[in-house]
């Protein structure tokens, strides 16, 4: 049996019926890794011994008849910008290449409580700054559907691992589309929850008012199960939303009758590939056939989202990354003449080109004489973008849009032109600026490459996204297709 093609809830059924064991599932993942990881390069760090040890404890408790959490024994991957106690956490950067955290991120603690089996830490664009995973300081992850193409970014390793079958579920972080964009390019489900729904404690900060952790899964049932595990208030995160949460699996209802869905006209024009546009319109037709009301709408300030994001995010990054100075932890360059020279050498050689570019952009935007003209104005435009969504949600339950303007692009195609690369996230940035939940799900294929469609919800409207996404997947089979990778048996 190919365990690598199954979902978490399918594997749980096998475990409860004693048709397999957690150790057998874990070994099958590492067998697949041995065959395909050299081609895909999704992981920075693997933990075979730790994974097998966790799987053995799950099997022992199953034999003893103990009740286990829903994700017990499920192979998981964690993006390498989330702290894992005793396990290397590099953020894809030379400056943290030897950093081993003394504590776990809250999401890791919560997954450990679920008894998941952590396979390893996945590759990413350095400090989550990128859209292709080509800005990792270590290597480029490749798309399982076509290894000459990018998997997206910055959470490209997590998306590629789930698509390839070298993890059943994974966690990523999304600052401007870094879960949804790679999910779209790799043909999996990727959700960015409402800002504050998932604790950021232990997530290495990029842009603190935008960052959010979320899941990569193969279907919406698994997405709901992972959300149940990682969501909830955390007193260690001052931005964590208070209040009790229900069971997200309650929203897995195959019915969208009466649901009102808006399609922002600004997302269906301009540089959008015609094939992608057709797939989005076909998705709208599926929702209409299932009884939803679909109508075009407008988000007037959409064109300002990209420049607004690239003032706010780099400004916050400039502040957050100031701590990497070669003194307390991380890379320190020796043979410096004084402390200032040590700072300069450690940061100039420890950070990659894209991180340096964003630090310089952010520092400039925050500098005396330019703060009001750039950063403060960007904050005001951010408010206008949020109000556009608020007005749209007075009429609609959710919005339907493309996730990316095109399918996965060839490796190296955009690395020399930062603006072209930044435009890869043109349809996802505004969701982060407004703090809204969004999800990308497989919507179809174009030239045998997966295309994602994006659903955007009201604040804390994950339930509507789950209901709509679940219904779409019951009506289509795009999420059931799997890539076949050279070297795979």
Supply the pLDDT for residue 339.
Answer: 74
Per-residue pLDDT of the chain (489 residues; tens, 9 = 90+): 568 889 999 999 999 999 999 999 999 999 999 999 999 999 999 999 999 999 999 999 999 999 999 999 999 999 999 999 999 999 999 999 999 999 999 999 999 999 999 999 999 999 999 999 999 999 999 999 999 999 999 999 999 999 999 999 999 999 999 999 999 999 999 999 999 999 999 999 999 999 999 999 999 999 999 999 999 999 999 999 998 889 999 999 999 999 999 999 999 988 899 999 999 999 999 999 999 999 999 999 999 999 999 999 999 999 999 999 877 777 777 777 777 777 777 787 889 999 999 999 999 999 988 999 999 999 999 999 999 999 999 999 999 999 999 999 999 999 999 999 999 999 999 999 999 999 999 999 999 999 999 999 999 999 999 999 999 999 999 999 999 887 666
Supply the pLDDT for residue 341.
Answer: 75
154 prior amide bond cis, ω within 30: yes
Supply the pLDDT for residue 475.
Answer: 97
Domain spans, the chain: 3-244+251-260+437-480
Supply the pLDDT for residue 485.
Answer: 82
Q: What are the b/e assignments for 114-144, b being 16+ CB within 10 Å?
A: bbbbbbbbbbbbbbbbbbbbbbbbbebbbbb
One of 132, 178, 318, 346 is an active-site residue; which one? 178
For the chain, the straight-line distance linking the first and the last C-alpha, in angstroms and rounded, comes to 12
Tell me how far apart the alpha carbons of residues 120 and 125 are, in angstroms, rounded to a whole number: 17
Which homologous superfamily is 3-244+251-260+437-480 in?
Amidase signature (AS) domain (3.90.1300.10)
The CA-CA-CA angle for residues 177, 211, 169, to 5°, reads: 65
One of 79, 192, 414, 458 is an active-site residue; which one? 79
Supply the pLDDT for residue 369.
Answer: 86
Per the structure block, which two tokens stand in for 156?
């490209």
The CA-CA-CA angle for residues 172, 175, 178, to 5°, reads: 50
Q: Which of 246, 152, 157 is nearest to 440 (CA)?
A: 152
Supply the pLDDT for residue 29.
Answer: 96
One of 154, 155, 158, 346 is an active-site residue; which one? 154
The answer to whether 178 is a known catalytic residue is: yes
Tell me how far apart the alpha carbons of residues 344 and 331 are, in angstroms, rounded to a whole number: 12
Supply the pLDDT for residue 487.
Answer: 66
Which pTM value belongs to this model? Answer: 0.96
The answer to whether 154 is a known catalytic residue is: yes
Dihedral, CA atoms, 406, 408, 412, 416, nearest 10 degrees? Answer: 30
The answer to whether 285 is a known catalytic residue is: no
């Amino acid at each position: 049996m190919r365990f690598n093609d199954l979902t978490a809830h399918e594997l749980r059924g096998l475990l409860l019926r004693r048709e397999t064991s957690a150790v057998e599932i874990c070994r099958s993942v590492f067998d697949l890794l041995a065959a395909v990881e050299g081609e895909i390069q999704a992981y920075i760090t693997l933990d075979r011994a730790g994974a097998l040890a966790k799987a053995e404890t799950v099997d022992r408790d199953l034999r003893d008849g103990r009740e286990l959490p829903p994700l017990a024994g499920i192979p998981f991957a964690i993006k390498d910008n989330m702290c894992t106690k005793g396990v290397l956490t590099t953020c894809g950067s030379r400056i943290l290449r030897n950093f081993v955290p003394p504590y776990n991120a809250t999401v890791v603690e919560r997954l450990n409580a679920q008894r998941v089996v952590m396979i390893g830490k996945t590759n990413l664009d350095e400090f989550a700054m990128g859209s292709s995973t080509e800005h990792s300081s270590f290597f480029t992850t490749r798309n399982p559907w076509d290894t000459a193409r990018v998997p997206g970014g910055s959470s490209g390793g997590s998306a590629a691992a789930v698509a390839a079958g070298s993890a059943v579920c994974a966690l990523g972080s999304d600052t401007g589309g870094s879960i949804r964009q790679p999910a779209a390019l790799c043909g999996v489900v990727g959700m960015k929850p409402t800002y504050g729904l998932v604790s950021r404690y232990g997530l290495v900060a990029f842009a603190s008012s935008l960052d959010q952790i979320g899941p990569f899964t193969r279907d919406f049932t698994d997405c709901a199960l992972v959300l149940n595990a990682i969501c909830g208030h955390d007193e260690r995160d001052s931005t964590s939303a208070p209040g009790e949460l229900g069971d997200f699996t309650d929203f897995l209802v195959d019915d969208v009758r009466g649901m009102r869905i808006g399609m922002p006209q600004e997302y269906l024009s301009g540089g959008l590939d015609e094939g992608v546009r057709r797939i989005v319109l076909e998705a709208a037709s599926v929702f209409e056939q299932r009884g939803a009301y679909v109508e075009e709408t407008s988000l007037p300030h959409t064109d300002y989202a990209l420049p607004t994001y690239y003032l706010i995010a780099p400004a916050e990054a400039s502040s957050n990354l100031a701590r990497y100075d070669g003194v307390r932890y991380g890379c320190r360059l020796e043979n410096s003449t004084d402390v200032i020279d040590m700072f300069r050498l450690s940061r100039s050689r420890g950070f990659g080109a894209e991180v340096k570019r964003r630090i310089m952009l952010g520092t400039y935007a925050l500098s005396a004489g330019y703060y009001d003209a750039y950063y403060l104005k960007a904050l005001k435009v951010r408010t206008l973008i949020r109000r556009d969504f608020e007005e749209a949600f007075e009429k609609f339950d959710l919005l339907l849009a493309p996730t990316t303007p095109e399918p996965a692009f060839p490796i190296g195609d955009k690395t020399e032109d930062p603006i072209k690369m930044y435009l890869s996230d043109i349809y996802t940035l505004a969701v982060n600026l407004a703090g809204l939940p969004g999800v990308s799900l497989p919507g179809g294929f174009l030239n045998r490459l997966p295309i994602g469609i994006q659903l955007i919800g009201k604040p804390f409207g994950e339930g509507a996204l789950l209901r709509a996404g679940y219904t779409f997947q019951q009506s289509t089979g795009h999420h059931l297709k799997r890539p076949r990778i050279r070297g795979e048996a």
